[in-house]
Structure formats: structure tokens, C-alpha cells
Amino acid sequence: MQPPPADTASSASVAPGPVAVLEARGIVKRFGHVEALRGVDFEAHAGEVTALIGDNGAGKSTLVKILSGVYQATAGNILLDGCNVTFNSPSDAHALGIETVYQDLSVAPDLTPSANMFMGRELVLPGLLGKFGFLDNARMRRESAEAFQRLKVSLKDIDMPIASLSGGQRQSVAICRSIMWAKQVVFMDEPTAALGVVQTRRTLELVRRICDTGVAVVLISHNMRDVLEVADTIEVLRLGRRIARLRNNNISIQDLVGAMTGALDSTADEQVTA
Amino acid sequence: MSQTIVAPTAEDPVPTTVQPPPNLSRRLRAGMTSSPAYMGVILVVLFLFFTIMRPDTFASLFNLRNIFLDAATLMILATGMTYVMIAGGFDLSIGSVLVFAGVCGAKTMEAMGTNTVFTLVAGLAVSLLAGGAWGLFNGFCISRLRVSALITTLGSMGAALGMAYLVTGGNDVRTVPKMLMTIGHGTVFGVPWLVVITTVVAIVAGVVLHMTKFGRHTFLVGSNPEAARRAGINVQRHVLLLYGLSGLLAGLAAMLSLGRFSTTTLEGHGTDPLEAVTAVVLGGTSLYGGSGSIIGTVVGVFIPAVLANGFIIMGVQPFWQMVVIGFVVIAAVYVDQLKRQSRDRV
Ligand SMILES: Nc1ncnc2c1ncn2[C@@H]1O[C@H](COP(=O)(O)OP(=O)(O)OP(=O)(O)O)[C@@H](O)[C@H]1O
Ligand SMILES: [Mg+2]
């Protein structure tokens, strides 16, 4: 966990560069006979919030899992900073600074928040003990507590298993974990689904703040108001295809719903060509 | 982590809570309500009860030593089982693997016909190898071929015992080098070798489980394997290693059993895996994986052992121990489920 210097991070956050930090081209994913994705294009820019919307079963989670290395695409390319990359596992994506808040959260309920924050990236003690894999629990606990404090997540007891937390608190832990490690891209698959009003507000503020540090945030949400509030760009999926890429200016909830359901199949010039 | 995320908003309605340092009394309270603590109290009560009822027989050094000796091999098997069960698995094969590994070790030493440290080391190496190989085979079937743990180890249970019978022609190997019997019966500073070895194994296993990355990954794999995989943990390899470890420990237990009984006891280990599961569950390790401890398993091994011994000494039919333990196990699992239900609120 090497924090990038604060100044360079925020300087990268001005305008989206011409090259997307993460780009997907023609992603196809089949599960047996089910074709979940049928040639999806997608791009996320540094310092921008890209919303990914679509009806249930449109393929949003599947796309996110492919771009996080959980699934491998049946066909198509993934480009990071314009270079082809392949993710054979989630670790490959992690190594390139891509983090994900999964829809099912991906936490270990029996373990503490700090064990979850450092899952798979445990810190070991310095010296010989560390060589034998002895954990530096005190440091992981401290750094987790700092991260929670910084992101304003209040947990009653940081030493209790995650299962004893509320659904929203669990979600907050998952969000904190991905933010702590992300350097390039954070995917958030319905991060506010289990959150109350206050916590939802905070998460959306957080989304803005993270992307101000120069990280690309991809937000999946079914709440169109939230999407219009935070997103710079909105990508619309329908039946495994991207059918629109909209800049967030002067568009209404009706436009988004229309694009998702196909009722309104021409948002004129804002629609993606080719 | 970037500092720019900090930017506190002034109008934040909820005050930020700073986490207090780990509070000793809170930790103590959490520890006291855990299953190992409850069971530990029960163990102490049982112990005191039998001591008061039969002070000069139950609490005699001779008798206590016997309890420990009887518990030694089971403790080693239950240690491996604890790891496997914390990771959400199950190993029914350990009794048969113990017999198979013991037969291999005994045959090797018999063939060498010598009685040196080297004989012992060779026997031990073969026994560990045989046990570890069975364990890895189980692990391979479970993690790679995705056969359920119950079925895989049930199959191995039969196959390993069958192979032990094939190798021996159905007759126990009884020629055990004197030196191994020294380990089985001798003492260091008054403490039986078996007890020393078992204690070392339990301590090392406990330290590794609770203090190292390997142990942490064991909990993670049991708690949510998919999350562990997404976090970059090689779940398949970890599961493979855990079953290998279980087999390896069965190999070690086999040598200790050989030293104690001077025979391969082909018939004597049919219920070992069940006794090990009983001990692990009594010790508070969850059947669903994700939580458990070695200290709990130590308590879980000794409760049935003390109960059986105490009943015999008090002239109660020892079969009562089986009855009591049977119901206690069911109760322990019921309590574990209740705890989970009250905890897993959303
Ligand atoms: N592991 C899988 N095996 C088979 N089919 C799958 C699998 N995962 C997803 N699918 C299928 O792919 C399609 C897209 O699913 P996905 O979860 O990506 O939708 P989504 O857009 O995230 O929906 P939601 O808004 O409900 O979360 C669905 O039809 C689903 O049945
Ligand atoms: Mg989804």
C-alpha cells in the first residue's frame, strides 16, 4: 500500500485525457449457452465518474467481473492506458491498480474489519518473523482504523467479526478496502444498495473525492438521481451491449430510462457512433 | 492511500469516532463468551468433580499420565482436522490413513531389521510420506476435481484401509524397533515423550493458525472462498495443502501409536475421524468454517477423555461417556447455529 503523493494525484484530476485509462473493446462473455455480453465497448477516464447503468440482467456485473479479472472474456480486448492487457486472475487486476466493490461485497463475515481490509495483502512483521509469515496485526488494525476514520465510517467495535455489523457497515468496509488499494480504477457495483440516506450521501461524496485524486471511478447504480448527481459520463448497457454513451449535461431521468429500456432509441448526437 | 480523500466536510452530521486501542477488558469479555471458554470451564468442573469424588485414584499422577497418553494421538489427528474444518472442509480418512502410514513405516523398519536412530528416522519419513501423500490425494480430488470433501475422504477411508490390509495380508505388523518403543513409553524429565511431542505439535499448530499468514488464509478460505479468491489468495493450493497437512499429521500419529502399542492396530482406528470431529466441534470450531481455534480443540479432546476415565474410576459404566458426549456434541452445534443466527443479521 504505497500512497501516491497527494499533489500529483490531484493534479491528474483536471480533465479527462484523450486516452481512457481503462477501455474494453468488443467484450463477449458466454456462460454455456447464455450470452451475457455480446460485444460490449466500455471506457473509463482518470478523474471521472463513469456510471454504468442498465436493467437487471443487462450484464453490468459480468462486465465488471471481467474487467476485474474474476471472469475471463470469451472474446474482446482490454486496454489499460492504451496497452493491451489480460487478466488471468483478480490479482493481475490488483497489480495494475484496479479495485472492485462487488455486488455481493466479497467480505469474510467471520473475520474482523481489519482482516478484511488486508485480505490477500496481509502485512507481516519486519525481520525474521515476517519471513515466516507472522502477521503484523497491530499495524493492519491501525491502518484500517485510520482508513475508516478518514472515510468517516464509524464502527462500534473494530475487533468484532464483520458478520456482527449491519449490512450498510459491511458495505462501507468493502468500499473502504477498495479505495485503500485502488490507484487507477475503482469499480463499485451498486455500492449504495444497502445504505441509508446519510450513508448514501456520504458514499456519493466519497465517489467524487476519490475521482478528484485522479482515480477513475465506475459506478453501477439503479438510482438514476444518484447517477445524474455524480456521473460525468453514463454508459448504458442493454441485453449485453452498450447502446449509449452519454455526457452528463442536460439529460433527464427519462432520457436514461428511455435508453435503458429502448423506448427512446435516439438521443440524437449524444449517442455513440460506430 | 491518497491523502486528498481526507478533505473533511464541515457539515458532517455524524461525529467521527476514533477507534480506541484494543481494550483488554473488552477482549477478555469476548474471550469469556467464546465456546472454548465455556467448554474450558466444563472441563475444569469435570476435573474437579472427579478429583473430589476419587482424590487418590483419579488425581493420581499415574492416572493423569494415562489420560494424557490416551489423548495424544487423537490430539494430533484433531489438530489437522481443526485446520481442515476451519477452512470449511472435512476429513473422514484420517483413521485409515493413520493405519496405512503406520503399516508403511512398520514394514520399512521391519525390512531394515536394525534398531538405530536411523531406523527410526527412516520409519518416520516413510510414515509421514505415506500420510502426506494420501492427504494430498484427498486435497487434489477436493480442490481440483471438485469432488465433495465428505465423499472424497469417505472413499479414501475405505481405500487406505484396504491398502493397509493388502500390504500386511490382514495381519498386524508387530515387530517394532525397541527405540520406537522407548518413545512410546519413555519420559523426558518425567513427562512421557508422547505428551512432549503432542504438546509441541499443538503449540506450533496454534501459533501458525493464529499468528501467521498461512493461518489467516485458512480462516479466509473457510469464511468466504470466493472472496478469498478475488483477493488473490490461491484457494485451490491452500485447500490442497491443508488436506496434505491433515494426512501428514496422521502419519506422525501413526508412529506415536506404533511406539505406544508396538503393533499397527489395523482394527483400532475406525472411529478416529469421528472422535476428532467431536473434539473439534466441542472446541468451538464451526462446522461451516471460518472460525475455530487449536486451544478449543485441546479442550475438546480432553472433555471426552476425562469423562471416560472418570466414569471408569467411579465404577460407572464407561458407555455412559459415549451417550453423554453424543448429546453434548449435538448441543454444541445447536449453540453454534444460534450464535450464527443472532450474529448474521443484515
Ligand atoms: N455465473 C453465471 N453463470 C451463468 N449465467 C450468468 C452468470 N453470471 C451472469 N449470468 C447471466 O448473465 C446475464 C447478466 O448478468 P449480470 O449479473 O451481469 O446482470 P446485471 O446487469 O449485473 O444485473 P443486476 O442489475 O440485477 O445486478 C444474466 O442473464 C445472468 O443470468
Ligand atoms: Mg449486477
> What's B261's domain CATH number?
1.10.3470
- What is the distance in angstroms between the Cα of B209 and the nearest Cα belonging to chain A? 10
Between CA B292 and CA B87 the distance in angstroms is 10
Stretch A93-122: mean pLDDT: 93
Handedness of CA B225, B228, B234, B238 (dihedral sign): negative
Between CA A13 and CA B200 the distance in angstroms is 57
Could you give the number of structural domains in chain B? 1
Between CA B35 and CA A219 the distance in angstroms is 42
State whether residue B114 is helix, strand or coil.
coil
Instruction: Give the C-alpha distances (Å, rounded to integers) separating A38 from A31, A74, A122, A222, A264.
Output: 12, 10, 38, 21, 21
Buried b (16+ CB within 10 A) or exposed e, B188-200: eeeebbbbebbee
Which residues in B lie closer than 8 A to residue A152 (C-beta atoms)? Answer: 8, 12, 14, 16
Domain ranges of chain A: 8-97+182-273, 106-177
Instruction: Give the C-alpha distances (Å, rounded to integers) separating A21 from A24, A88, A242, A273.
Output: 10, 19, 18, 21
**Residues of chain B under the 70 pLDDT cut:** 1-34, 344-346
* A273 pLDDT above the threshold of 70: no
Burial class (CB in 10 A: 0-12, 13-18, 19+), B333: middle
**For residue A58, which atom of ligand 1 is closest to its CA?**
21
* A4 pLDDT above the threshold of 50: no
Report the residue among A27, A29, A30, A31 best suited for mutation to probe ligand 1: largest number of ligand atoms under 8 A from its CB: A31
Q: Is residue B157 in a domain?
A: yes
The residue among A270, A251, A218 whose CA lies nearest residue A24 is: A218
* A93 pLDDT above the threshold of 90: yes
Task: Retrieve residue A264's grid coordinates.
Answer: 427512446
Between CA A188 and CA A52 the distance in angstroms is 10
Per residue in A226-266, pLDDT (tens digit) is 999 999 999 999 999 998 898 988 888 888 888 888 765 55
DSSP alpha helix (H) spans, B234-318: 235-261, 272-282, 294-314
Nearest to A154 among B3, B16, B289 (CB): B16
CATH 3.40.50.300 assigned to A8-97+182-273: yes
Question: In this predicted structure, what is the pLDDT of residue B8?
Answer: 38
Between CA A172 and CA B251 the distance in angstroms is 46
- What is the distance in angstroms between the Cα of A182 and the nearest Cα belonging to chain B? 8
Question: In this predicted structure, what is the pLDDT of residue A257?
Answer: 87
Q: Is the CB of A40 under 6 A from ligand 1?
A: no
Between CA B19 and CA B17 the distance in angstroms is 6
Which residues in B lie closer than 8 A to residue A124 (C-beta atoms)? Answer: 213
% of chain A beyond a pLDDT of 70: 89
Mean pLDDT of chain A: 86
Q: Is the CB of A36 under 6 A from ligand 1?
A: yes
Question: In this predicted structure, what is the pLDDT of residue B18?
Answer: 44
Nearest to B9 among A91, A121, A205 (CB): A205
Question: In this predicted structure, what is the pLDDT of residue A18?
Answer: 60
Q: Is the CB of A58 under 6 A from ligand 1?
A: yes
* A270 pLDDT above the threshold of 70: no
Question: In this predicted structure, what is the pLDDT of residue B192?
Answer: 92
- Nearest residue of A to residue B13, measured between CA atoms: A198
Distance A147 CA to ligand 2 centre (A): 27
- What is the distance in angstroms between the Cα of B292 and the nearest Cα belonging to chain A? 10
A185-189 and A216-220 strand pairing? parallel
Q: Is residue B304 in a domain?
A: yes
* A47 pLDDT above the threshold of 80: yes
- Counting ligands in written order, which one lies closest to the CA of residue A54? 1
Burial class (CB in 10 A: 0-12, 13-18, 19+), B210: middle
Between CA A156 and CA A159 the distance in angstroms is 9
Task: Give rounded-to-5 percent helix, strand, coil for chain B.
Answer: 75, 0, 25
* A65 pLDDT above the threshold of 90: yes
Question: In this predicted structure, what is the pLDDT of residue A158?
Answer: 86
Question: In this predicted structure, what is the pLDDT of residue A143?
Answer: 95
B187-188 and A75-80 strand pairing? unpaired
Question: In this predicted structure, what is the pLDDT of residue A196?
Answer: 82
Q: CA torsion B101→B103→B107→B110, rounded to 10°? A: 110
Task: Retrieve residue B128's grid coordinates.
Answer: 509421514
pTM to 2 decimals? 0.88
State whether residue B224 is helix, strand or coil.
coil
> Between residues 290 and 329 of chain B, which touch chain A (CB distance below 8 Å)?
290-291
Which residues in A lie closer than 8 A to residue B345 (C-beta atoms)? Answer: 166
Q: Which residues contact A117 (CB under 8 A, 6 or more apart)?
A: A140, A143, A144, A147, A173, A176, A177, A180
Contact (Cβ atoms closer than 8 angstroms) between residue A184 and residue A97: yes
Question: In this predicted structure, what is the pLDDT of residue A155?
Answer: 84
Question: In this predicted structure, what is the pLDDT of residue B173?
Answer: 87
Nearest to A70 among B9, B230, B340 (CB): B230
- Counting ligands in written order, which one lies closest to the CA of residue A237? 1
* A30 pLDDT above the threshold of 50: yes
Contact (Cβ atoms closer than 8 angstroms) between residue A84 and residue A25: no
Instruction: Tell me which residue range forms the domain holding B244.
Output: 41-334
DSSP alpha helix (H) spans, A82-166: 90-95, 113-117, 127-131, 137-150
Per residue in A148-188, pLDDT (tens digit) is 988 888 887 888 899 888 888 888 899 999 999 999 999 99
**For residue A240, which atom of ligand 1 is closest to its CA?**
14
Model ipTM value: 0.85
Q: Is residue B93 in a domain?
A: yes
The residue among B89, B8, B108 whose CA lies nearest residue B285 is: B89
- Amino acid at the residue B344: D
Task: Retrieve residue B278's grid coordinates.
Answer: 467431536
Q: Is residue B24 in a domain?
A: no
Question: In this predicted structure, what is the pLDDT of residue A250?
Answer: 84
- Counting ligands in written order, which one lies closest to the CA of residue A34? 1
Q: Is the CB of A203 under 6 A from ligand 1?
A: no
The separation between the first and the last C-alpha atoms of chain B, rounded to the nearest angstrom, is 29
Residue B210 in contact with partner chain A when CB distance is under 8 A: no
Nearest to A150 among B6, B219, B340 (CB): B6
Chains A and B form CB pairs within 8 A to the count of 139
**For residue A60, which atom of ligand 1 is closest to its CA?**
21
Which residues in A lie closer than 8 A to residue B216 (C-beta atoms)? Answer: 115, 122, 135
Between CA A37 and CA A26 the distance in angstroms is 9
